[in-house]
Amino acid sequence: MYKNIVLAICCCVAMLSGGQAAPAAQSGDVESTSVTVYPTGQALVTEVRHMDLPESGGVAYPGAAATLDPTSVGLRSLDEPDRVLVRSLRVLPSAADAGGVLRSYVGRKVRAVLPDTERADRRQARDAVLLSVSSGRAVLDLGDQLYVGPLDAVLLPVDEARPRSESALLLDVRNEGERNQRVEVSYLAGGLDWSGDCALSLDAAGEQGSLSCWATLKNHTGKHFQDADLRLVAGEVHRAPQPMPMRMKMQAAVALEESMGNGAALRQAGDYHVFEVPFQADLAEGQTTRLLLGSAGSVQVGRELVVRGHARHRIGEGGPQTRPVENVLVLRNTPENGLGSPLPASLVRVYRAMQGGGRILEGETHMDDLPVGETVRLALGNAFDLRAERTMLAYERTSKHSVRVQWRIELRNSGAKKRSVMILEKLQDDWKIRDTNFDYVKENANTVRWNLTVPPGSEPVKLHYTADISWPS
């Protein structure tokens, strides 16, 4: 007799034991697991196990991620690396994937439960060779005829290639050393990514507060990572559209940043920054896990109120245009401002205390990777008490390829205190400010900035400027 797997059409796979079979080499205990997670949905998984390796033949490596990239799998013995060689490998389907299990037996002999051709209420078991399977229908070679149709159930022979509760690798090895060895297996897997989110809690003045940054991990690899050493890479790693090489090589960590405490240690690996979680973490399949990256207790921020406009040189834009006054938070990543460590790309939520108690969500926005010494401006929303209105006052065609435009920008402040407002105007092609009633600064090749003080009250502050704009023929 031989062992079988019964595969029913309801996608239930059950093991049926028969007589005894010769024991095969099996993987042993997991000594350590390391998972390096990238924000692009990939992870580098490295496991160290004690394994029984035959002199020559197949050995199962169960418990691999279902989303592993077979072209990235690498195996080496830590005890005798020059005496162990992997000649080939196969990815075995998980028992949860009934269709995948059945497809893995194409070309092999099975025992199928089929409808009885003489009585519709009966079934018959027939030995057959599975030729193909698709969409719940199979093609079987019964010897004297071919069967094409649905299957009630299939009995599959159990061997080293049988499915397991998790995906597995079947390795064909040649071992010239000791049978029991410590083996390191690494591979790339999809379905595991992380994203950052930071909470900035400010005082009532909105100028100082505390920052805490967290990592959110989502595991859809089909594997439960238990007691794993976890690393989170900040920065985008390029992956070619073709299959990856057999191994991903990482540079050794060379520097440690300690400005943000109470969380993950921050190291640099090549041109990337890596957060090392200081404890072993469990990442359950299908679940979301949050881990503290770091915190800072006294962070200084700046504020800007911004009006943006575009001085297009097209006629027909003379009507008043209401523009929002943006509430922008300025965050400088320097030790002087209470920071000084690289911050990963994150969703940033800004909370602000209220006079008399309580706090509000002032706004949230996404932030790109923020290196040390750099500044980020976060648009939190629009100011309630400030209004801006832009009006084109004049449009004159001065030549075939040039115009002269005149704009007025009115700022109103219905609040109780004066406010400083920055006006940023975009001008395209070749331009020159001909005249204006306030001093301006040329920010770059197509941006002009005015800084105006707007007192409270019903009288608006009016900015006028005239620009000559020309473009190539």
38-72 per-position pLDDT tens digit = 988 899 999 999 999 999 988 888 888 888 888 89
CATH, residue 450: 2.60.40.1170
- The predicted pLDDT at position 90 comes to 82
- The predicted pLDDT at position 35 comes to 96
- The predicted pLDDT at position 7 comes to 42
* Domain end position, chosen among 158, 189, 220: 189
Dist CA 311 CA 313 (whole Å)? 6
CA 298 from centre of chain:
29
pLDDT in tens, 185-211: 999 999 998 999 999 999 999 999 999
- The predicted pLDDT at position 381 comes to 94
Q: Are 2 and 21 in contact (CB under 8 A)?
A: yes
Dist CA 341 CA 374 (whole Å)? 11
- The predicted pLDDT at position 24 comes to 38
Confidence of residue 97 (pLDDT cuts 50, 70, 90): low
Whole-number Cα distances in Å, 112 to 15, 18, 108, 153: 15, 17, 12, 6
- The predicted pLDDT at position 114 comes to 86
366 pLDDT more than 60: yes
Whole-number Cα distances in Å, 405 to 270, 278, 304: 51, 61, 28
* Domain end position, chosen among 170, 189, 208: 189
- The predicted pLDDT at position 161 comes to 55
Q: Does residue 300 sit in helix, strand or coil?
A: strand
15 pLDDT more than 60: no
DSSP H helical segments within 222-378, as ranges? none
**What integer is the mean pLDDT of 146-173?**
76
Return mean pLDDT, the chain: 83
For the ranges 138-152, 248-262, 328-342, 363-377, which has the lowest average pLDDT? 248-262
Q: Could you tell me which residues are beta bridge partners of residue 138?
A: 133, 149
Q: Are 264 and 277 in contact (CB under 8 A)?
A: yes
Range of the domain at 121: 4-189
- The predicted pLDDT at position 170 comes to 85
- The predicted pLDDT at position 160 comes to 54
CA 202 from centre of chain:
28
- The predicted pLDDT at position 263 comes to 59
Beta strands 265-269 and 192-202, pairing class: unpaired
289, part of any domain:
no
pLDDT in tens, 372-427: 999 999 999 999 999 999 999 998 999 989 999 999 999 999 999 999 999 999 99
* Domain end position, chosen among 172, 189, 206: 189
322, part of any domain:
no
225 pLDDT more than 60: yes
Reading the block at residue 401, the tokens are 């390829």
Q: Does residue 336 sit in helix, strand or coil?
A: helix
Cα four-point dihedral sign 354, 360, 361, 362: negative
Confidence of residue 106 (pLDDT cuts 50, 70, 90): confident
- The predicted pLDDT at position 385 comes to 94
467, part of any domain:
yes
For the ranges 227-241, 242-256, 389-403, 413-427, which has the lowest average pLDDT? 242-256
CA nearest to 220, candidates 163, 287, 153: 287
Confidence (pTM) = 0.69
Q: Are 6 and 151 in contact (CB under 8 A)?
A: no
Q: Are 228 and 280 in contact (CB under 8 A)?
A: yes
- The predicted pLDDT at position 77 comes to 92
109, part of any domain:
yes
How many CB atoms sit inside 10 A of residue 430's CB?
A: 13
Confidence of residue 21 (pLDDT cuts 50, 70, 90): very low
**What integer is the mean pLDDT of 422-434?**
93
- The predicted pLDDT at position 438 comes to 96
- The predicted pLDDT at position 210 comes to 95
Whole-number Cα distances in Å, 353 to 9, 208, 214, 295, 356: 60, 11, 21, 19, 9
160, part of any domain:
yes
- The predicted pLDDT at position 11 comes to 32
Contacts of 390 (CB under 8 A, 6+ apart): 309, 320, 321, 323, 407, 408, 409
Residue with tokens 């080293």: 160
For the ranges 75-84, 92-101, 116-125, 300-309, which has the lowest average pLDDT? 92-101
**Phi/psi-derived region of residue 222, left when phi > 0, alpha when psi is between -120 and 50, beta in every other case:** left
Dist CA 60 CA 90 (whole Å)? 10
400, part of any domain:
yes
- The predicted pLDDT at position 305 comes to 96
- The predicted pLDDT at position 318 comes to 60
4 pLDDT more than 50: no
422, part of any domain:
yes
131, part of any domain:
yes
For the ranges 250-259, 367-376, 391-400, which has the lowest average pLDDT? 250-259
- The predicted pLDDT at position 16 comes to 29
Number of independent structural domains in the chain? 2
340 pLDDT more than 80: yes
